């Protein structure tokens, strides 16, 4: 039987010799210090601290040593491993910080660089103005109604009490489509939407209709063959001129500013009786009638549109009983409203599509 190998000299177990352990530690520390990035450090960790690293393999030899030698060797290896792990952890922190900094630098976005060469464009000032007006009425409980721009002659004229001999039906004002016997026009006003609305729904009716209209006008600073109107129609029981006045005063103050009211001048429209022209108080001089005011030219008031109590003949033509219901209607030029809101003397830039003009008037992108 053989006894314990008392002759065994631990110094002779090569991997556990102090200078060998020291060499392993030095090699590991040098590799850690030299690791340029986190990937390299991962490999260094495997090579110098992993299960198959020299130091781990040396550690396994400890068990083969006689008990009195184990302590020394264990301490030596343990200290070396501790130093290696500490160096790994420290280097990890440094490399992570470097990585972070590099990412931040690489991913920096220069917000001052131009994005695209082409301007993205935006919505037309008249579209914005139309929506503003529609919103204003929606806030009062109205609905937005629409109609086609290519319209039946009957709806554009006859239903609105504009008989065949009315001057507005002559070729001068109206774009007729061919063949003429189809009786189709480009609508000259948004008023046919009144007729369409009454024909398709029952009172109470509260609608507003912004849209394009066409007339054979010369194109100049104040006329265009295509322009925009907004039509309003209310049909309900007991509606009077007083409701119309209150509604238009509210409309005016919302669009032009607090305290801007309207005044009515007697007028004639075939579809309303009585009818009135509406003026809005000049929102620049606020009705002072000073010659210095360029907006109203000293008038104190600006012509805004037409209005009135819906003619019972129109109600009858559109299937509404005038014994039960009455209504009011109004129509304003949207381009005109825009022009005096912004003190423009020429409406042509509104229709010429120069984005520099549009963007000057709060075009949203
Ligand atoms: N349609 C008329 C025009 O183009 C404007 C107008 C006047 C509309 C009176 C109305 C109204 O609804 O009641 O000149």
Q: What is the pLDDT of residue 10?
A: 47
pTM of the model: 0.68
Q: Is 218 annotated as a binding residue?
A: no
Residues in the chain, pLDDT under 50: 1-2, 10-11
Per-residue pLDDT reduced to its tens digit, 85-122: 999 999 999 999 999 999 999 888 888 887 777 766 67
Please report the pLDDT score of residue 2 as a whole number: 47
> Residue 134: its pLDDT value, please?
97
Which atom of ligand 1 is nearest the CA belonging to 213?
Answer: 4
Q: Closest ligand 1 atom to the C-alpha of 308?
A: 13
Q: According to the model, what pLDDT value does residue 113 have?
A: 80
pLDDT of residue 286: 83
Residues 6+ apart with CB under 8 A from 196: 145, 147, 155
According to DSSP, residue 158 is labeled G
Q: Which helix (H) or strand (E) holds 276?
A: strand 272-281
Nearest CA to ligand 1 atom 3: 189
Ligand 1 centroid from CA 340, angstroms: 19
CA dist., res. 68 & res. 36, Å (int): 42
Element (H, E) at 153: helix 153-156
Q: Domain segments of the chain: what residues? A: 14-106, 125-359
- Nearest ligand 1 atom to the CA of 271 is 13
pLDDT computed for residue 13 by the predictor: 64
What residue's CA is closest to ligand 1, atom 2? 331
Q: Please state the separation of Cα 49 from the chain's center in Å.
A: 58
Residues with CB under 6 Å of ligand 1 are 189, 191, 231, 269, 271-272, 306-308, 329-331
Q: What is the pLDDT of residues 13-37, one digit of tens each?
A: 667 788 889 999 999 999 999 999 9
Q: Decide: 351 and 126 in contact? Cβ < 8 Å.
A: no
Class for the domain spanning 125-359: alpha beta
């Amino acid at each position: 039987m053989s006894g314990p190998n008392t002759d065994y000299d631990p110094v002779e177990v090569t991997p556990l010799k102090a200078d060998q352990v020291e060499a392993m530690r030095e090699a590991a520390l040098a590799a850690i210090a030299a690791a340029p990035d986190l990937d390299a450090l991962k490999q260094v960790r495997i090579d110098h601290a992993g299960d198959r690293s020299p130091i781990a393999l040396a550690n396994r030899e400890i068990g083969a040593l006689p008990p009195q030698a184990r302590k020394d060797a264990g301490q030596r290896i343990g200290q070396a491993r501790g130093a290696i792990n500490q160096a790994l952890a420290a280097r990890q922190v440094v490399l992570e910080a470097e990585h972070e900094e590099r990412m931040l630098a690489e991913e920096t976005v220069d917000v001052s660089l131009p994005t695209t060469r082409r301007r993205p464009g935006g919505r037309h000032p008249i579209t914005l103005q139309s929506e503003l007006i529609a919103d204003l009425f929606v806030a009062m409980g109205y609905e937005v109604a629409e109609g086609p721009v290519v319209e039946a002659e009957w709806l554009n004229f006859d239903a609105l009490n504009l008989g065949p001999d009315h001057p507005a039906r002559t070729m001068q004002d109206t774009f007729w489509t061919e063949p003429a016997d189809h009786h189709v026009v480009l609508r000259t006003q948004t008023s046919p939407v009144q007729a369409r609305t009454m024909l398709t729904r029952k009172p109470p009716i509260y609608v507003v209709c912004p849209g394009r209209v066409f007339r054979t006008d010369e194109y100049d600073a104040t006329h265009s063959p295509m322009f925009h109107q907004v039509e309003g129609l209310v049909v309900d029981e007991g509606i009077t001129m007083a409701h119309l006045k209150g509604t238009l005063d509210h409309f005016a103050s919302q669009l032009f500013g607090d305290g801007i009211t309207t005044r009515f001048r007697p007028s004639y429209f075939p579809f309303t009786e009585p009818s009135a022209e509406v003026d809005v108080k000049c929102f620049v001089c606020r009705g002072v009638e000073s010659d210095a005011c360029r907006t109203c030219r000293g008038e104190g008031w600006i012509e805004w549109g037409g209005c009135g109590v819906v003619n019972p003949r129109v109600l009858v033509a559109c299937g509404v009983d005038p014994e039960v219901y009455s209504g009011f209607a109004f129509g304003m030029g949207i381009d005109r409203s825009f022009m005096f809101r912004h003190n423009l003397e020429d409406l042509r830039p509104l229709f010429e599509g120069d984005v520099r003009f549009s963007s000057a008037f709060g075009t949203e992108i």
